[in-house]
Amino acid sequence: MATVLAKFQETQRLQEEQYLGFREELRAINSTLGTIVGVLKEVLNTRRDSVALQGAPDTSLDDELPTTSAGASGQEAPPQDHHTSTPPPAEGEPPRK
């Protein structure tokens, strides 16, 4: 019985160490993501300032996305309504209702 209890306690201790390790890794990931978001915000603000200095209207970054589909056909991708939750049908699929 003492052996079973000792094994149980050892398993608990190992799980606690693993949990603390995961928490530490998540904190590091969160910190890295915070840095990335900060850099992206700075880039966006710099871009907005640059556009404002040029006197041009500010446009969304979505407007800078390529207009051709990822396929080798070179055809323009159909316009997408970014306010709907249903994506357009894939090539070869019938239209969605």
Q: Quick: pLDDT tens for 8-32.
A: 999 999 999 999 999 999 999 999 9
72: which 2 tokens? 């080798």
Radius of gyration of the chain (CA): 26
Q: What is the mean pLDDT of residues 31-59?
A: 86
Q: Is the pLDDT of residue 49 over 80?
A: yes
Q: What is the pLDDT of residue 69?
A: 47
Q: Is the pLDDT of residue 35 over 90?
A: yes
Q: What is the pLDDT of residue 50?
A: 83
Angstrom distance (rounded) from CA 85 to CA 62: 17
Q: What is the pLDDT of residue 70?
A: 47
User: What are the CA-CA distances from residue 83 to residues 60, 86, 87 (Å)?
Assistant: 14, 9, 10
